[in-house]
Each structure stands twice: as structure tokens, then as C-alpha cells.
């Protein structure tokens, strides 16, 4: 039974446990696997940067409230954040770097309170 290289489909000659026909094919396969593994990292990083840009755009004064649909329409994804802070009332603010948001329901409408990170939020 002849084994075929998973990269180029040529015959693999040599030891019985050999998988690739050449070091070049082995390297190519490992490179592709690394790209696939890092693709998730790049996707998360891209979304975090997008979220930060959107939060910064709508929060020019340090604190504002706006409908969730406005942010979501621009591609904001609230599941991506860098850290969180819980205030004394137990409300959890999620942050994308220095810009944060708190999900609220006000008069039956889903809203976000947008804030910027403050020194007192450290603890």
C-alpha cells in the first residue's frame, strides 16, 4: 500500500511512519495549520478594534446613552470586550480598552450607556 503526501499527493518514499514526501511539503502544511490557528486571534483582534472605534465615535463627552441598534448597525459586537468593571450597584460595564458600555433596558428599549475608563475603576 503506497502512502500519498497530504500536501501534493505524490508517493511518500522512506520510513513507514513518514507522512510527507519532502521537508518543503511538511513546512507548507505546518505553515497552513499555524495560519488557521491564528485566524481566530486575528478575528477577535479585528472585532475588538472595531468595537473600540465605534464606542469612541459615539462617546465624545465621556458618558452618553444610545439605542443598541445604532451600535449594532455599525458592526458593534457586545460579546467582544477586553475587561469589565462592576460598580457598587452590581452593574457590569464591559470595556474595549478604555471605552466601555453597559446594557440597559429603558422604557422598553434596549440601550447602551457609554463611558470612558476612569481611575477610580481600578479596584
Is residue 11 in a domain? no
In a domain, 1, yes or no: no
* pLDDT tens string 82-97: 999 999 999 999 999 9
Q: What integer pLDDT is reported at residue 123 of this predicted model?
A: 61
Each residue's pLDDT tens digit, 17-37? 999 999 999 999 988 888 887
Q: Which domain holds residue 114?
A: 23-122
Q: Is residue 70 one of the residues assigned to a domain?
A: yes
Q: Which pLDDT tens digit goes with each residue over 32-60?
A: 888 887 888 889 999 999 999 999 999 99
In a domain, 67, yes or no: yes
Backbone angle region of 70, left / alpha / beta, with phi > 0 → left and psi within -120 to 50 → alpha:
alpha
Convert 54-87 to b/e letters by CB count within 10 Å (16 or more is b).
Answer: bbeebbeeeeeeeebeebeeeebeeebbeeebee
**C-alpha closest to that of 68 among 87, 90, 94, 49:** 94
Amino acid at each position: 500500500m503506497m502512502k500519498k503526501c497530504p500536501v501534493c499527493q505524490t508517493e511518500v518514499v522512506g520510513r513507514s511512519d513518514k507522512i510527507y514526501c519532502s521537508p518543503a511539503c511538511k513546512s507548507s502544511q505546518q505553515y497552513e495549520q499555524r495560519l488557521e490557528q491564528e485566524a481566530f486571534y486575528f478575528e477577535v483582534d479585528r472585532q475588538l478594534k472595531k468595537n473600540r472605534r465605534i464606542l469612541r465615535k459615539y462617546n465624545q463627552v465621556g458618558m452618553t446613552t444610545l439605542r443598541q441598534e445604532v451600535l449594532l448597525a455599525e458592526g458593534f459586537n457586545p460579546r467582544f470586550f477586553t475587561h469589565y468593571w462592576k460598580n457598587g450597584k452590581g452593574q457590569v460595564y464591559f470595556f474595549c480598552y478604555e471605552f466601555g458600555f453597559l446594557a440597559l433596558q429603558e422604557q422598553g428599549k434596549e440601550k447602551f450607556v457609554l463611558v470612558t475608563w476612569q481611575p477610580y475603576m481600578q479596584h
